[in-house]
Amino acid sequence: MIDEYEQHDFATGSRFRAQFLSPLLSFDLHKLTDAFIGDGWGISRCLFLSVLFTGLLSVLWLQIPNLPLFAFEWLLGTAPLWLPIVTLVIAWKVWIWYARGVYLFERKAILLEVKIPRDITRSPRAMENALSKLWVDSGETTFFNTAWQGHVRPYFSFEIASFGGDIHFYVWTWSGWRAAVESALYGYYPELEIVEVEDYASKFKYDAEKHECFATDWRYEPRNDAYPIKTYVDFELDKDPKEEYRVDPIAQVLERLSNLRPDEQGWLQIIITQSKDKRRKKGGLWWETESRYEGLVKEEVEKIRRDTAPLHIDDRSAPDAWKTYARVPLYRATESVKTIERNMGKHIFNVGVRGVYICDPAKFSAGGYTGVRWIWRPFGNVQYLNQLRPRRWSNPFDYPWQDWGDIRWTLMLRRFFDAYRRRSYFYSPWIIPHNMMSTEVIATLWHPPSASATAPGLQRIPAKKAEPPPNLPK
């Protein structure tokens, strides 16, 4: 027991040093603002910097008489230089926002329910191949399409929803892409049944008096997008083992959603679109760009190789001089490089993952929403790869002074449900930071579960359905 108390005290002291002492002693404004003020005390960065700016402005006001008049005269005198540029930039952004808004408003959205049969023998690799067909940039062929007509790449939402423990699989898409979605799924899962249904998210009306919710997004942490989570390949599902030997992590997700009470709901949403993210090419000219994902992968692989490479013979006086005599293979380094480069060979999507837990206010507790908040934990590898960590929406509220009377909490939930029912993640009105994931990762998170997933709430259709033979007599 003494050892346990000592370990707890050490952990508490380590947390205190990490959140308080280290940022203070570093004299780094970013660490002070984010780590000490933000994470340590739950005070908004905007509020802290606003107070700091107001204080500095007050000191400057004492030194310069008539400071507001002086600043106004300076801005007015230099207006011919900056006003045309600012006006053009704002006008361009407003036009893009308007053109895209009109284009998205004209798209008719449909929700398809994917009914799962009793017997599915294919591994998630089939779902990975199906997703590859949705890696499209239709509508963004030319600058005229994107800038004048407001076209955007099609995006798709793969969802799992539980209503009192009754689990359903959905795919949200534009009506014009229904045939593409159905052919992609039927091509690898011909035993599925796909039907159009009413949108459960649009039908739901959030009422703060009747519903208590915990909403969240999931983001890659603790590393960047080059590092994936554990996928079905790591669970050896690509080898198509016998059903009794399958260890599919989605079974735990379905089991948690299946255990919800009749007054509870749990929604999961995975929104994807083709990744075309660019960044400035490091070492190149200022106008040269490269794929952001490929650049991150190459950087991280080179970093791992450099960290594990043997030292030069002239560096034998260095602390790591043993590396000049022997090279010990590191499992984590080998597996990291193998996993990173394997995913680089897949189709890459921009991905937004969000979810919500809905409950009766009288029964809302940490024990209920924590299971949904960390529902993707079995897929994580925080030691040398990545995990999906909950962020945004309901997560930042840890201290009483962050939200008086649940005003911000309720506002965040209303915004979340608006973004959820719109399936908005990459374009206005909700542009939210996203991750880049390969088809292998997405297929691990969402795929028709095999018979090894026995969650009682997962409704399966009793038999396979097929079209009659074409050569029957008429």
Please report, for residues 146, 213, 355, the alpha-carbon distance to residue 99 in angstroms, rounded to integers and kept in the order given: 9, 34, 29
| C-alpha count within 13 angstroms, C-beta hemisphere, residue 234 | 21
**Residue 271 maps to a domain:** yes
Whether residues 232 and 319 fall in one domain: no
Whether residues 317 and 172 fall in one domain: no
Whether residues 241 and 175 fall in one domain: yes
Question: Is the bond preceding residue 449 a cis peptide, omega within 30 degrees?
Answer: no
The per-residue pLDDT for 467 is 60
Give 18's pLDDT tier (boundaries 50, 70, 90).
low
The per-residue pLDDT for 237 is 87
Whether residues 389 and 371 fall in one domain: yes
Please report, for residues 85, 98, 147, 395, the alpha-carbon distance to residue 92 in angstroms, rounded to integers and kept in the order given: 11, 10, 9, 34
Q: Would you say residue 96 has pLDDT above 50?
A: yes
The per-residue pLDDT for 463 is 56
Whether residues 325 and 407 fall in one domain: no
**Residue 263 maps to a domain:** yes
DSSP state of 327: -
Using DSSP bridges, classify how beta strands 460-461 and 109-117 pair: parallel, antiparallel or unpaired. parallel
The per-residue pLDDT for 240 is 67
In this prediction, residues 179-207 reach a mean pLDDT of 94
pTM: 0.87
**Residue 163 maps to a domain:** yes
Give 2's pLDDT tier (boundaries 50, 70, 90).
very low
The per-residue pLDDT for 473 is 61
Q: Which of 310, 331, 352 is the last residue of a domain?
A: 331
Higher local confidence (pLDDT), 192 or 324: 192
Whether residues 301 and 245 fall in one domain: no
pLDDT of 373-391, one tens digit each? 999 999 999 999 999 999 9
**Residue 219 maps to a domain:** yes
Whether residues 406 and 317 fall in one domain: no
Whole-angstrom distance, CA of residue 71 vs CA of residue 68:
5
The per-residue pLDDT for 19 is 59
Q: Which of 331, 365, 394 is the last residue of a domain?
A: 331
Q: Would you say residue 470 has pLDDT above 60?
A: yes
Q: Which of 331, 365, 392 is the last residue of a domain?
A: 331
Whole-angstrom distance, CA of residue 424 vs CA of residue 412:
15
Give 246's pLDDT tier (boundaries 50, 70, 90).
confident
Q: Would you say residue 91 has pLDDT above 90?
A: yes
Domain ranges, residue 135: 117-278+341-461
Mean pLDDT of the chain: 87
The per-residue pLDDT for 1 is 46
Residue 58 belongs to what H/E stretch? helix 45-63
The per-residue pLDDT for 13 is 55
Whether residues 309 and 418 fall in one domain: no
**Residue 469 maps to a domain:** no
The per-residue pLDDT for 375 is 95
Give 94's pLDDT tier (boundaries 50, 70, 90).
very high
Whole-angstrom distance, CA of residue 216 vs CA of residue 206:
16
Give 5's pLDDT tier (boundaries 50, 70, 90).
very low
Q: Would you say residue 314 has pLDDT above 60?
A: no
**Residue 62 maps to a domain:** no
Using a pLDDT cut of 70, give the percent of the chain over it: 86
* Three-class DSSP category at 393: coil
User: By mean pLDDT, which of 27-31, 135-139, 207-211, 318-322 is the weakest?
Assistant: 318-322
**Residue 61 maps to a domain:** no
Whether residues 363 and 417 fall in one domain: yes
Strand partners, 266: 162, 357
In this prediction, residues 400-405 reach a mean pLDDT of 83
Q: Would you say residue 329 has pLDDT above 80?
A: no
Give the pair of three-digit tokens for residue 349. Answer: 């999507």
Whether residues 152 and 203 fall in one domain: yes
Whole-angstrom distance, CA of residue 424 vs CA of residue 446:
19
Whether residues 168 and 184 fall in one domain: yes
Whole-angstrom distance, CA of residue 174 vs CA of residue 155:
8
What is the number of structural domains in the chain?
A: 2
Question: What residue has token string 């292998």?
Answer: 440
Amino acid 277 reads D
User: By mean pLDDT, which of 56-70, 77-91, 287-301 is the weakest?
Assistant: 56-70
**Residue 367 maps to a domain:** yes
pLDDT of 412-438, one tens digit each? 999 999 999 999 999 989 999 999 999
Whether residues 315 and 283 fall in one domain: yes
Strand partners, 177: none
pLDDT of 266-313, one tens digit each? 999 999 999 999 999 887 788 889 999 999 999 999 998 888 776 555
